[in-house]
A and B are shown apart, each in its own frame.
Chain A
């Protein structure tokens, strides 16, 4: 059973702080890793993807991948109330475009 696990939260951080979201996956054959943001009642929107070990930065977002430990994380710097949403981690197993999603972490950025 291929699994992607996330802490459901909610994770509460004050405005301006760094939010750290974590995800672990079970299959070492996983190749691609994605973070999606989903607002309540809306469909997911892609934030970042990462393929290689290490960090990948895009604006206030940094994805970190550690294949040896089978985890991928998302850091959000200078968190804003508009970042309050559910963040979904998704993993692509051995290509083919099929994604397996974690259950999501709810983030709340408080004023």
Chain B
């Protein structure tokens, strides 16, 4: 299947700082990528849809000014958590749809964010 990478795999930061997470499609182009957040023992919650060359589409309740998404190329989407606070500590996962005519999504390995 398609390969999606994320960087960093984990990050610890101080409250009030900003953190950037990268999501790359390694062997295919992705005009759309998705960003999810997962709190412990909960399911994945879609945060936003990242669209190459245009603005991201945010799900209801997700602050677009806090979670900045940039999809500047067909292989890279970034999520920046601005002014992070302890309640933003979570597992952030990106995904990209397959190119094979199915609706499947391939997930990156995730980024564990801990805000102190």
Contacts and interface: CB of A to CB of B under 8 A. Distances in A.
Task: Give the size range of B's interface with the partner.
Answer: 20 to 34
A32 interface: yes
A101 interface: yes
B81 to A, nearest CB: 18
Q: Chain B contact residues: over half helix, strand or loop, or mixed?
A: strand
Contacts of B105: 34, 46, 97, 99
A95 B103 contact: yes
B116 interface: no
A101 to B, nearest CB: 5
Interface stretch (B13-21, B43-51, B68-76): B43-51
A62 interface: no
A102 B78 CA distance: 26
Q: Chain A contact residues: over half helix, strand or loop, or mixed?
A: strand
Nearest to B105: A99
Given A99-B103, A100-B46, 4 more contacts: A32-B102, A97-B105, A98-B46, A101-B45
14 contacts: A32-B103, A43-B91, A43-B109, A44-B93, A46-B1, A49-B102, A88-B43, A97-B105, A98-B49, A99-B46, A101-B44, A102-B43, A103-B42, A104-B43
